[in-house]
Every structure is written in C-alpha cells, then in structure tokens.
Chain A
Amino acid sequence: MNYDLIVIGGGPAGYVGAIRAAQLGKRVACVEKERAGGTCLNWGCIPTKSLLRNAELFHLMKHRGGEFGFSFENLRFDWSKIIKRSRDIADKNAAGIEYLFKKNKVEYVRGEASLTEAGAVTVNSADGKTRELEAAKILIATGVVSRPLSGFPFNGRTVIGSREAMVLEKQPKDIIIIGAGAIGVEFAYFFNAFGTKVTLLEMMPNILPLEDTEVSQTLEKAFAKQGINVLAGTKVVKAEADASGVRISVEGKKSESLEAEVCLVAIGVQPLLPAGLSLQLTPRNFIQTTDRYQTSVAGVFAAGDIIGPPLLAHTASYEAIQAVEGMFTDHVPKRINAFPSCTYCQPQVASVGLTERAAREQGLKLRIGKFPFSASGKARAAGEVDGFVKLLFGEPYGELLGAHIIGAEATEMIAELGLALTLEATHEDIEASIHAHPTLSEAVHEATGQAFGTAIHL
C-alpha cells in the first residue's frame, strides 16, 4: 500500500499531523498501537481534568460548604464512579478522533509500527498479522512514557506512574509523590482533596520549578493550607517497595523516613522510540531534528514529545502541523517559540513567556505589574481570592515578555496573554482593550496598569 505520509503514533502530534496532511489532499495512514488520541486523550490531559473536576467540587463542598451556606449530613463520594467518569470521557474523546480520521479519509492502522527503512513501515497488529506500508514521507510521533526512579522500578501496585495513578481501584490511605512538576502537583491536589494523606517531594527548591518562583511559593502555601505535606528542596536517598507499601528516606531541610501505601513517581518521562531504523538522538535520547523537523534519515520526520521538551499536547500539535505543512506546501516550518503552560490543581497555575528569573538572567530591563485576586470583585463574589496575575514588560518599549497567573481560572485566562505575546503587544494595547466587568480577566488589565502606574483598584 502506498501513501504520501505515514504517521507513527496517534496522539496530539500524530493525529493532528495526519489530519492536516489529509486536508492538504494527501493519502495518509496513521498507525497507533493502542488507542487514537495518545497519552493526552487516554492517559493524560483529558482524564485527569475529569478527576480534578471531581476533586475541586468535593473539596469545595467538604471544606467550604459553610462559607456558601451549605451543610451536609452525610457527604460521601463513590471512588469507582469518579474513576469511571474519567474513563468514559477518555473513551468518548478517543472515539471522536477515530471519527475525525474517517471524516478526513485518514487510514487508521492499529498495531505497533517499526521503521523498516526510509519510506517503509512494518505494522504488527495484536492479532499477529503483519502489514507493510510504504510512503514518500514518514512522521514519527510516538511520544514518551513515565520514567522510573533508578533502582526503584514501577511495579504497577505500590510504585506507579501517572497512568496507573488515574485508575487506582481503591483510594489509597496515603501516597508519596516524587516530583512536583505539573503531573505530581495535579495528583497531589486530587488525592488530597478526597482525604488521602499526601507527601509531595521535589528536589528543586520549589514545586513547579519551571514556573515563576513567586507563583511556586504561593502554591506551596496554598497546598500546605489544604493539608498537603510539601517537601521542596528534598532529595530521595533511599527507596524500597514491597506488596504492602513503600519506605522512602529523604534528605532536605531535615532528613526523614517516610512510609506510604503507594508511591507515584512523576520525575519525568523517557522517549518511546519506534523499532527499526536507528536515528540520530539528542543527548537525552529524544530524536534529533532540524528546523524543518527532519530527522537524520531523509524523508523521515518527527514531531511532538519524541523530539524533546516542551512535553505538552498543544506544542506537539503545533509541531506536527508545522512539520506537515513544511513537507507538502511551501510553508517554512517554525519551531516552538512562546507557549502556555497550565497546571490544573486549585489554585490553578498558568504561564506564558519568560519568568522573572529567566528575564533577569538574560539581563533584560523589566517593569513588573501584579494584581491580587483579593482586590477583584468577581473573585470575591466567586469566593476565589487566592492568587494573582503577574505580568512582565520590557523596557523601553513596554512589550509583554511574560505572564504568570495563579488563581481559580488561570488556565482559561492565559490565552489572552499568549495572543498578546504572539502579536508583540505592548502595555498600551492591553490597557486599550476594554476588559469586561466583572471578570477575573480584569486582573490582567489591572496588573498592566500597576506596572505603569495607572491601576485603579489598588
């Protein structure tokens, strides 16, 4: 069978790249070994957002019901229904991708692909059949899987990765989470909201170490208030596991030995390289690509998590579209520039552009504007006064350099600032845009004003 493009992997890079190529009139096959949608739809972004919605609702009712005038005699939750809701949503989304494949005439091939040679892919399906596919171009979008802590392998029960963590049959009494990136932080919030005793370990000085330090510190305080045991600047020195639980020795501000039923290892990921042809890799074993997403083998391209950070669904989709348009049109592919990062605990964290730390390291002259939600009418009405909007502007032109939001709807509010960055907006443009009242987004307007001395509500 001959195609213009074979995409290996059906995640946010793979399915998006396949559909775009089909839209360009190309004959496309997309090979997926599990389920269309990849980690994002099946084992990442979407199912965890379902779990987190349950968590925030329960947390609100349980701990803040009185504030809103609610009281409950017997507030309970059904763990298995929480998990099932998440799985049903994932299934529905995956079916949606399969529908999109049909609609766009992308041939969806189930099985494990290996790269026989440039232009040839062998697919072994679960029923033992083998298919040979040929195409002028191949796009590798196989993504990544959770990386184990060395000497502390996953065992599927007491030492788990994010994938197992979202389908635990029984709510654990206590859990130790190693790694406080977005995944570790979201699961910490989730389990804690339902009453699991959570210890969150992070080697770097702050949780969410890639975010603006002020944001990380604010989240640490919020988490501590919620009852999460946050141990930042703490290293795991010894870790043991058996069928009944884990024992972990840590060194940080103090050295201690921790025990729990389950340990979630969320220290990062490792690439999932396709079998066959060996391609040139980066020092961290991701696939090395050029500015056009070309690998070391002619005709073989790669996009998404498999080519390295940022490891995000939305950047993966962007890369795949760039790669495919570069292959089939005269478009000059672009690499990722500014992209939003979102963490869906409560309070939520979202950012785009430079952190204050990075801007200072680059020696940039800055003007910083900050507006706390405690000064926002809408935030008070919603009972969501935690957090702030922090905006970084350059001198002398006042262009937006970075935006950092921690608060209730941070992940929805960041889009405006992503657009501002892409358009190279200056503070005048944000100030000249009327922001609806009452909204949380007014805080963006006010933070801008605060940087330039024109804020009204501070």
Chain B
Amino acid sequence: MKHRRMILLLLTLAMVLTAQSASAVDDGTNSVYTYNFDYWGELMESPDAYRVEEVVTSASLGLDVPMNFPQSLYARGNSLYVVDRGNNRILELERLDGQMHLKRIIDHIQGAEIDTFKNPNDVSVDEAGNLYVADTGNNRIVMMDRELNLIREYVKPTDSTFDQNADFQPNKLVVDSAGRVFALAINVNKGLVKYEADGTFTGFIGANKVTYNLWDYIWKSFFSTKEQRAQQVAFVPTEYKNIYMDEEGFIYATNVNFSEYDLLSDSAKPIRRLNSLGDDILIKNDRYPPIGDLYWEEGLTANDYHGPSKFYDITVLDHDIYVALDRMRGRIFGYDPQGIMLWAFGTRGNVEGAFNGAVSIEHMGTDLIVLDELAGTITVFAVTQYGQLIYDASEKYLKGDYDGSADTWREVMKLNANYNLAFIGIGRSQMRQDNYVEAMENFKAAHNRINYSKAYRYYREQWMEDNIWWVVIILLVLVVFLVGRGFYRKAKWEVNEHDRSHILKQS
C-alpha cells in the first residue's frame, strides 16, 4: 500500500514536470504600433504620438526617373534635400501647405573639374544656403553656393595622420555654424575628419574607444601564434554609422557595431553626444540607457528580426529631445534630454508608417520625416495631441512653469495612465506645493526613489514638527518606566537580601 502511494506520487510529479507549456506568449510587440517601457522593462501599449501625414513617392513628386537608393535627408526651413544616390543627384523639395513639392534637381556643379556626382551619400546646408555634398565616389566633399557654383572641394588630407594608402571616401557630414566640416569617411576609424572653415584639415575627433576584455587580451598576447593573431579580429575602434549636429553645435553620433551584451550595461553606447573634445556627454538618467528596444527576439519564426536596435540615423528636436531611427525593425525612438524614453513607434512592412529600409530621419518643427531606401519613399509624420502634450509639458518644465507643466502632465495622464514621466512631473509640482503625501504616492507609482526620498524627508520633518510633543512624552514615559522598574527591582532584591540575612542571623 505504502509503495503504491509512493509510485503514484512520483508519477504525478513526473507528469507535472514534463507538462511544459509550448504555447508562445504574445508579448504585444507584434501588434502594437506605439509603445513605451515601464519600470520593469515591460512593454506598455500607448496612444499614438505620431501619425502619418503624407507619404511622398517618386510618382507624387512627378519624377521622370524614380528615386534609386536614396540615402539621406537634410531639412532646413521649408526645404528638404534628398540624396538620390543611385541617380547621382540631389533633390530639393519644398513643403508648402503641408505638402511636398519638387523645387529643383541638383545633378551638376558649375565650375568644377568633375562637374557631376558619383555615389553621393550625404548633404548638408548652412544658414547662407551653401550646399555641402559628401561625394563619396569622387573622393571629395563639394561645397557650393545656392546657385550651384563651386566654392571649395575638401579632398584627402595630406597629413601623415591620415593613411595615405587608403582612399578618402566621405560618407556622412555635418557643418557647424562657423563653417567647420566634420565628416565620417569609409574605412577611417580614427573618428570624424575635421576641416576648418578655410578648408584645412585639422585632425580627427571623437574616435570610438577600442573595446576588448582582459581575457581576449591575454589570449591574444600569450596563447596565440603569429599566424593565429593575423587571423583574429584586430582591436580597432569601429566606425560611426551616422552623425547629426544639434542647435548648440554638439554632434550626435550613432554606432551599430557592438556586442549586444554590452547594451544594457551601457558600455556599447549606440547613441553618443560628442563635445568639441570628442567625449561622450549624453545624459542617461533612466533605468535603461537609450538603446532602443529592450527585447531583441521577436516573432514566432527564427528568421524574424533578431537582435538589438540598429540606429541608422538620429535627429535632434528643440529642447534636446532626440529621435533615433532603428533600421532593424523600422522603428523610431524618442528620448528626452535626461535619456528617458518618450515613446517608440513603427514596424517593418510595406504599409503606411512601416519601413523595410529605413535609412534616414529628419525633422521640420515637430514633424518627423523618414526616408526608406528600398521603397524609395519619404514618410512625413505629424505629432498627435498626445505627443504634443508631452512636448508642451517638458517645455513648460524647462521654462520654470512647474505648475503649468503638472497640469499638462495631468492631460497626458488622461490619455495614457501608464506614463512614468507624467507621475514624476505631477509629483514634482505637488512637492513644491508642500503636498508631500500625494507627491510620494506619485513618485512611488513611477518607481522613482530619488524624488520619493526627497519628498519623504520633507514629510518626515513636517511630521516631527507636528508631533514633537507626543514623541517627547512617549520617550519620557518610557524612561520613567525603565528607571522605575530598575529601582523597584533593586529595592525588592535588597529587601530579600535583608530578610535572608535576618533569617541566617536568627538561625
């Protein structure tokens, strides 16, 4: 009997242990368009921050030759420049009444020895309207005025710091307000090539740091033969993918060559903000660094998109809000100046608002413009009421209108009750109004320790001030009780001793 019961028990246990559920869980990433992450990194569906306003195609622009692998966008004022690499030309579009129109096609330079482009990859325009084109196939950067007259050519530096055996193939470029040109060149890993306004090369800035670990180093130095070492990957810095210069003259750079295990520990740094010395000064005050998606496996089949977000381009809106474009899943991630994610949206596909070959992003005001190189389309996104409220609240906070900011965050909360920044914004204003208990509740809802701790300290101080007499009275009573008990015990002991000695004496 006993044995049978044992066997039954074991059998049930075996059944429980083997009954593994094979059902795949739909985490929402396959159907949700706009989302955010909560404190635990869980995906939270969110209202749309952006909606597609217009999809610009070669046909809608009336182009005879359709766009062929367009590579880059540049927006200034109402003008949008599109680098149409496959056709060796640059399209200048103008946005009038919310619609894109073709203004002109730039495909030659007046006054240059080679007056056409060959595989151009990037364009930039300064305030005076001068164009800078990264003319990769012709190994030069061309600077020309508004009427396309050649002003200057930036060619391979003759400096010894530049490898003279390699071709100079400028790929991406930015120009600062003083006319200095910073360019990324293919196969140059020393950082950005920097030219002064007069066209002289003055060195490299912002090299990607070499990453290797101690184990690799030991293995390579002591346990590999010369032949093996030649076969192994060299410890060289990687190249940046794209660069963008913000209003203040800082360069935002994206990087797509990293090990995905370095992302969450923030040693990969896919987005960087470089100062003039080339140091990364991007602020990261969130639980997760700005790395895009936190989950890298998606879909039910193995050949679906696996791997972390790869930022192919970045653009910076007003008030240092930056928006990065993920090629991997065709997504767009917005971050505030503190590195906290505002929203993420987008997907792969062929429908409106989905991308297969997202390659470049730009902005006009708060509108976002995304270029798809495979489809040859330009998608214009307009901000929704929800997205606008988030911008307004951040802006009011930066301007010092804290209570107005909190009111706007309350509006955001009506549309999305899971928005951490809204909880923190409201809590901050409540803390300023000495409403500590409610502020603490809001900070707790946002899992924000630092602010909760601040509010709690004020609350504790206030509580002590209000209840100081009670605290003193309770302490006094306690002291009196303990001292009294001590006296009582001592007295009792003495009486006992006295009695005992009395008895001893008598006997």
A binds B: no
Please list the residues of chain A having a beta carbon within 8 angstroms of any beta carbon in chain B: none
Q: Name B residues whose Cβ lies closer than 8 Å to a Cβ of A.
A: none
